């Protein structure tokens, strides 16, 4: 029987956030941001374990109390130079430690998406558990899309037909994702699905919603705070 594991790459520095503290540790509703995704993943009964991939030089993780998640949480301090490197290093370390089998599913989730809900998570697992390839949460593009030139003048309006914004979790079998990321080593992929696509496969898009957005810029933090506050105190 295949099991489901989550892997959170959390070795980034949050350069677009412009804060000295890496963004996964910025305070959000009284907790470091990464706490919220960890909680949603650990509390899900389908998820057997959660791997956290930290930067080798991380000095922040150990300053918090993670004991409430100790049953499911494994820290792997093997983060790399890019998100793809961090995910690949984490997958390899987890396999070397015999914590995961090649045919188990891995749900890769950004530490910077704290507003993931258990409904979204269950929908992803439900839609993909018997899929041959796997897939990802995604949202159909809502805005009109403009292609600009170097001086910010519109060159043309792009059709948004069949265009989606990729989110996480992105769910693939451990062996396939490891092979895909190894193959994509020099391709600058910014998500896991891109590496799978580079093998000629077609990940499934599972409709999600805008609440599962990625905290990237300072103003995003305030929005995430509002969403989580409202959930905690409806
Ligand atoms: N990530 C990682 N290792 C890296 C780069 C990113 O594990 N070398 C992780 C981040 O910690 C985050 C996720 O990948 O959880 C998504 O990346 P992003 O939102 O781009 O975060 P950062 O790379 O930290 O931010 P920025 O691109 O603004 O520097
Ligand atoms: Mg980044």
Tell whether ligand 1 has an atom less than 6 A from the beta carbon of residue 16.
yes
> What is the arrangement of strands in the sheet containing 73-76, beginning at the earlier edge strand?
73-76, 47-54, 4-10, 105-108, 164-173, 134-140, 204-207
Q: Is the pLDDT of residue 16 over 90?
A: yes
DSSP run (H or E) holding 219: helix 218-232
Tell whether ligand 1 has an atom less than 6 A from the beta carbon of residue 112.
yes
Region 20-31: mean pLDDT is 97
pLDDT at site 48: 98
CB 14 within 8 A of CB 23: yes
Identify the DSSP state of 53: E
The CATH number assigned to the domain holding 105 equals 3.90.550.10
Cis status, amide bond into 73, omega within 30 of 0: no
What's the gap in Å between 130 CA and the centre of ligand 2?
31
Into how many domains does the chain fold? 1
Q: 131-170, pLDDT tens digit by residue?
A: 999 999 999 999 999 999 999 999 999 999 999 999 999 9
Radius of gyration for the chain, computed over Cα atoms and rounded to the nearest angstrom: 18
Structural domain containing residue 61: 4-232
The pair of structure tokens assigned to 132 is 């041959």
What's the gap in Å between 81 CA and the centre of ligand 2?
10
Q: How far apart are CA 23 and CA 18, in angstroms?
A: 9
Q: How far apart are CA 133 and CA 140, in angstroms?
A: 21
User: Please, which pLDDT band fits residue 121 given cuts at 50, 70 and 90?
Assistant: very high
């Amino acid at each position: 029987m295949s099991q489901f594991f989550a892997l959170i790459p959390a070795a980034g520095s949050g350069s677009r956030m412009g804060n000295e503290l890496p963004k996964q540790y910025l305070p959000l509703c009284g907790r470091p941001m990464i706490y919220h995704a960890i909680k949603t993943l650990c509390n899900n009964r389908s998820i057997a374990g959660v791997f956290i991939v930290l930067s080798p030089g991380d000095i922040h993780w150990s300053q918090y109390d993670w004991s409430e998640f100790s049953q499911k949480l494994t820290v792997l301090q093997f983060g790399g130079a890019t998100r793809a490197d961090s995910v690949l290093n984490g997958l390899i370390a987890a396999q070397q430690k015999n914590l995961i089998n090649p045919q188990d599913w891995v749900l890769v989730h950004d530490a910077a998406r704290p507003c993931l809900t258990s409904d979204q998570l269950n929908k992803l697992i439900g839609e993909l558990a018997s899929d041959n390839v796997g897939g990802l949460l995604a949202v159909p593009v809502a805005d009109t899309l403009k292609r600009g030139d170097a001086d910010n003048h519109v060159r043309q309006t792009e059709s948004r037909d069949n265009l989606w914004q990729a989110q996480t979790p992105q769910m693939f079998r451990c062996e396939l994702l490891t092979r895909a990321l190894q193959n994509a080593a020099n391709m600058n992929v910014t998500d896991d699905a891109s590496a799978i696509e580079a093998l000629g496969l077609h990940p499934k898009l599972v409709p999600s919603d805008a609440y599962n957005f990625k905290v990237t810029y300072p103003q995003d933090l305030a929005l995430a705070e509002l969403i989580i506050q409202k959930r905690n105190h409806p």
